[in-house]
C-alpha cells in the first residue's frame, strides 16, 4: 500500500471557515497548533470527509455548513497517492427549500463519482481521537466499527463484506420472527452468514496486522527507532472481533441458538461476536 499525502486542502463554507486553503510540502508529519476554537479540529474533520461515512464527528450534512453561509459547503484536496496526483472533492449544494434533504456529492478530478467509496483508490483515512474513548470502555460494537474502518484503510473491499454480513443477519432475524419459518431456508441463510462472518473476521485479522506494520514503519521513518521504542506502539485486533474458536466459526449461527435469538429478536451467536 503506497503512502498518500495531502498536498493542498481547500475549504469553502466549512464549519468555522468561510474560505481557507492549506498547502503542504514534503512527507513529514503535520502538527496543528493554535488556541482553543481556532479551527484545528475542523481541518482534521475536513480531511475525514475524504473517506466514506459522516466524518470524525459523525455530524449531519447540514450542521457542517458555515453559519453565515448559504447552507452549502465543500472540501477539496489535491492528493498524491496510490494512483498519482488527483483532486478529490465533496460537499453539498445550498438547499433548494426548507424540506429539501441534502445529498452529498463527490468528485474525482472534477468528474462525479457515485460515493466517497471511490476515493479509496487514491486515499484511505483512519483516525483515533479523544472523543472515541468509548472504544476502550464502551460496547463491543464501537470497537468492531473502528476495526472495520481500520481494515478499510488497507482493503477497499472490506465495507462490501461487512454490508453483506449485516444484510444476511437481518434476513435471519426476519425469518426468526416467523414461528413457521422453513428450517431449510434458515439453514441456507445461516450457512451464508457463516461464510461472510469468517471472511470479515479473516480480513480483520490480516488488515489490522498490515495496518500495525504500516504504523510502525511510519513512526520509525518520522521519529527514528529510539522514539518508536519509547512509544511502544502495539496495534493488535481486539479479542471480541477476531479471537474465536476456528471450528465454531465455520458452523455459523447454530441451530440450538434459534430459540434464544428468536426471543431476543437479534442474532447473538454470530461467529464475529464469539470470543
Q: Which of 25-39, 61-75, 111-125, 240-254 has the lowest mean pLDDT?
A: 240-254
User: Which CATH number applies to 132-269: 1.10.10, 1.20.1050, 3.40.1350, 1.20.1300?
Assistant: 1.20.1050
Contact 197, 271 (CB under 8 A): yes
DSSP symbol at 16: T
User: How many Å is the Cα radius of gyration of the chain?
Assistant: 22
Alpha helix ranges (H) inside the chain: 40-48, 134-137, 140-152, 158-177, 183-223, 225-231, 239-242, 258-264
Cell of 91: 460537499
Confidence of residue 236 (pLDDT cuts 50, 70, 90): very low
pLDDT for 237 equals 38
Considering only residues 56 and 227, tell me which one the structure prediction assigns the higher pLDDT.
Answer: 56
- The partner residues of 17 in beta bridges, in order of sequence, read 14
pTM: 0.64
Q: What is the mean pLDDT of residues 172-184?
A: 82
d(CA 210, CA 218) in angstroms, rounded, equals 12
Say which residue the cell 496526483 belongs to: 85
Domains in the chain: boundaries: 5-121, 132-269
Four-way CATH pick for 5-121: 3.20.20.80, 3.30.2130.30, 1.20.120.450, 3.40.50.300: 3.40.50.300
C-beta of residue 2 within 8 angstroms of C-beta of residue 84: no
Residue 53 has a pLDDT of: 84
5: number of Cβ within 10 Å: 16
The helix/strand/coil state of 265 is coil
Per-residue pLDDT tens for 48-89?
999 888 898 989 999 999 999 999 999 999 999 878 899 999
Fold match flag (5-121 vs 132-269): no
Amino acid at each position: 500500500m503506497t503512502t498518500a499525502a495531502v498536498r493542498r486542502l481547500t475549504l469553502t463554507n466549512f464549519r468555522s471557515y468561510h474560505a481557507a486553503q492549506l498547502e503542504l510540502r514534503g512527507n513529514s508529519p503535520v502538527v496543528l497548533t493554535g488556541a482553543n476554537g481556532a479551527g484545528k479540529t475542523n481541518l482534521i474533520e475536513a480531511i475525514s470527509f475524504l473517506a466514506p461515512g459522516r466524518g470524525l464527528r459523525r455530524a449531519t450534512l447540514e450542521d457542517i455548513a458555515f453559519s453565515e453561509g448559504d447552507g452549502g459547503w465543500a472540501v477539496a484536496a489535491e492528493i498524491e497517492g496510490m494512483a498519482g496526483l488527483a483532486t478529490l472533492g465533496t460537499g453539498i449544494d445550498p438547499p433548494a427549500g426548507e424540506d429539501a434533504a441534502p445529498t452529498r456529492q463527490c468528485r474525482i478530478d472534477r468528474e462525479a463519482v457515485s460515493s466517497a467509496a471511490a476515493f479509496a483508490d487514491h486515499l484511505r483515512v483512519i483516525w483515533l481521537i479523544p472523543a472515541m474513548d468509548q472504544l476502550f470502555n464502551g460496547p463491543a460494537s464501537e470497537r468492531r466499527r473502528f476495526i472495520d474502518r481500520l481494515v478499510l484503510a488497507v482493503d477497499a473491499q472490506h465495507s462490501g463484506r461487512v454490508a453483506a454480513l449485516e444484510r444476511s443477519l437481518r434476513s435471519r432475524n426476519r425469518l426468526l420472527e416467523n414461528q413457521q419459518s422453513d428450517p431449510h431456508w434458515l439453514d441456507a441463510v445461516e450457512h451464508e452468514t457463516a461464510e461472510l462472518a469468517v471472511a470479515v473476521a479473516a480480513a480483520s485479522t490480516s488488515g489490522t496486522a498490515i495496518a500495525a506494520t504500516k504504523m510502525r514503519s511510519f513512526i520509525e521513518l518520522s521519529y527514528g527507532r529510539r522514539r518508536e521504542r519509547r512509544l511502544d506502539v502495539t496495534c493488535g485486533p481486539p479479542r471480541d472481533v477476531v479471537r474465536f474458536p476456528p471450528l465454531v466459526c465455520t458452523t455459523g449461527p447454530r441451530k440450538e441458538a434459534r430459540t434464544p435469538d428468536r426471543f431476543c429478536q437479534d442474532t447473538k451467536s454470530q461467529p464475529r461476536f464469539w470470543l
